[in-house]
Amino acid sequence: MLRDREGRPVGDWFDLHAHETGADVETRWDGPVPCVTPTERFFVRNHTTAPEIDPGAWRLLISGDGVQRETVWSLADLRRLTSVTLEVALECTGNGRRFFGDQQGTPRPGTPWRFGAIGVARWSGVPLSQLLDHAGLRRDAVQVTPVGLDDRYVVDGVDHGRVRRPLPLPKAMDDVLVALDMNGEPLARDHGFPARLVVPGWVGIASIKWLGELRVTRTEVDSPWNTLWYRMHGPGWEGADAELGRLPVKSVLDEQGDGDPTVGREVRLAGRAWAGEAAVERVEVSTDGGRTWRRAELDGDNLVNGWAHWELPWTPDRAGDHEIRVRATDTTGRTQPDRATDNDDGYLFDAVMRHPVRVREPGR
Ligand SMILES: Nc1nc2c(c(=O)[nH]1)N[C@H]1C(S)=C(S)[C@@H](COP(=O)(O)O)O[C@H]1N2
Ligand SMILES: [Mo]
């Protein structure tokens, strides 16, 4: 039996990718996808290993020259504050990376995710803005850098320090949560117990787990997680655009009936679409390799920062090879390109997905 680093069996629900020192697991859906991803099927992406943290001894420090006073919170302190719940998707920056190779012929190094490095959960906790206000946020503060309590990240003998990434203050003060609960339960160890950030609509790395410190600064600081990684590198990538924040619009096909579709018989095509900080405006589906498109029906919550479910009936009228394509457009007018923009690390694969299918003659 395949087991992950914590010794848990990895079976029907997960694909395991041994990656550097950690182990990443992605969700694999073989049927209808629920609105909220059950915690035990939620993808995991750890740079090293999930630390075991004593909740009684744990403290969250708010520090730096961007606040008037250093403040320290215990878990009990945070639990006494009014809790807010957000239904929000969390998506890894490299979700879909495998398709740079499979669909575009330019394989990229890193965890070879399919589209299982995304999940939607109900996150509950305290707005980050509330904690920053309480510490006396200075008017000229520009960033908050959350720091994780997992092991320092060492690659090829280079110690990059604790996992951390600066977050611009406007986003930090907008809708970011210091989450204590996921789907109504205290965070699981793999998902950041006892506290993590949830940064809606942004690349997964922004949502630092096992939170130990929030450093608020009046000058811009860097970390390897916004200079070396989680930034676009390669030809054509320079300047401010290269630093990754907001996630693009994407869509997938999850269901296309059982076995090969048959001429004259209706099958249900269904899947999901999501768009980071936006909601999904429409999903179009082509069953003839992109020549003609039909609009799919959207259902489910379709919230900003969440995902929408789509479906479309299809009755094939000729046998042989077909190609299904799915393309989403969001409420800000962004749409999926035919080809994802290349970059050295295979981030943000957002191209229209192509699914070859064979249609059978009836009665064979
Ligand atoms: N401290 C810490 N926070 C972290 C990470 C990590 O390795 N250490 N991984 C990040 C990445 S790359 C992603 S995609 C998300 C994954 O969250 P999940 O494992 O709860 O799905 O957590 C982010 N937060
Ligand atoms: Mo990630």
- Give the residue whose CA is nearest to atom 1 of ligand 1: 148
* Ligand 1 midpoint to CA 130 (Å): 23
| Kind of pairing between the strands at 353-359 and 154-155 | unpaired
CB of residue 340 inside a 6 A radius of ligand 1? no
* Ligand 1 midpoint to CA 316 (Å): 42
CB of residue 162 inside a 6 A radius of ligand 1? no
CB of residue 148 inside a 6 A radius of ligand 1? yes
- pLDDT value, residue 10: 41
- pLDDT value, residue 157: 95
Q: List the beta bridge partners of residue 32.
A: none
- Give the residue whose CA is nearest to atom 15 of ligand 1: 204
- pLDDT value, residue 14: 59
Mean pLDDT (the chain) is: 92
CA dihedral 345, 348, 352, 354 (to 10 degrees): 40
CB of residue 94 inside a 6 A radius of ligand 1? no
Q: How many CA atoms lie within 13 A of 89 on its CB side?
A: 34
- Give the residue whose CA is nearest to atom 23 of ligand 1: 205
CB of residue 163 inside a 6 A radius of ligand 1? yes
- Give the residue whose CA is nearest to atom 11 of ligand 1: 205
Q: Which of 37, 120, 209, 210 to probe ligand 1 with, by most ligand atoms within 8 A of CB?
A: 209
* Ligand 1 midpoint to CA 180 (Å): 15
195 touches 211 (CB < 8 A): yes
Task: Name the 3-class secondary structure at 322.
Answer: strand
Look at residue 195 and tell me whether its pLDDT is greater than 90: yes
CA distances from 353 to 2, 166, 285 (A): 29, 32, 10
> Residue 17's pLDDT band (boundaries 50, 70, 90)?
low
| Kind of pairing between the strands at 177-182 and 185-186 | antiparallel
Q: Tell me which ligand sits closest to the C-alpha of residue 209.
A: 1
- Give the residue whose CA is nearest to atom 10 of ligand 1: 205
Task: In whole angstroms, give the CA distance from residue 71 to residue 305.
Answer: 30
Contacts of 16-19 with CB under 8 Å at 24 or more apart are 17/111, 17/112, 17/113, 19/110, 19/111
> Residue 18's pLDDT band (boundaries 50, 70, 90)?
low
* Ligand 2 midpoint to CA 28 (Å): 17
Task: Name the 3-class secondary structure at 61.
Answer: strand
| Kind of pairing between the strands at 167-168 and 143-148 | antiparallel
Look at residue 287 and tell me whether its pLDDT is greater than 80: yes
User: In this predicted model, what pLDDT tens digit does every residue of 81-129 receive, in sequence order?
Assistant: 999 999 999 999 999 999 999 999 999 999 999 999 999 999 999 999 9
pTM here is 0.94
Q: What is the mean pLDDT of residues 156-184?
A: 98
CA dihedral 40, 44, 46, 50 (to 10 degrees): 0
Q: List the beta bridge partners of residue 73.
A: 60
Q: What is the mean pLDDT of residues 239-260?
A: 89
Q: Which atom of ligand 1 is nearest to the CA of 42?
A: 21
DSSP letters for 74-93: EHHHHHHSPPEEEEEEEE-T
Share of the chain above pLDDT 90, in %: 82
Q: Residue 104 has what DSSP assignment?
A: T
CB of residue 211 inside a 6 A radius of ligand 1? no
User: In this predicted model, what pLDDT tens digit does every residue of 37-62 receive, in sequence order?
Assistant: 999 889 999 999 899 999 999 999 99
CB of residue 210 inside a 6 A radius of ligand 1? yes
Q: Tell me which ligand sits closest to the C-alpha of residue 225.
A: 1
Q: Residue 36 has what DSSP assignment?
A: S
* Ligand 1 midpoint to CA 90 (Å): 9
User: In this predicted model, what pLDDT tens digit does every residue of 133-151 receive, in sequence order?
Assistant: 999 999 999 999 999 999 9
CA distances from 352 to 117, 281, 316 (A): 17, 16, 21
Share of the chain above pLDDT 70, in %: 93
Q: What is the mean pLDDT of residues 234-253?
A: 91
CB of residue 135 inside a 6 A radius of ligand 1? no
Q: Which domains does the chain have, with CATH numbers?
A: 39-242 (3.90.420.10), 250-359 (2.60.40.650)
Look at residue 338 and tell me whether its pLDDT is greater than 60: yes
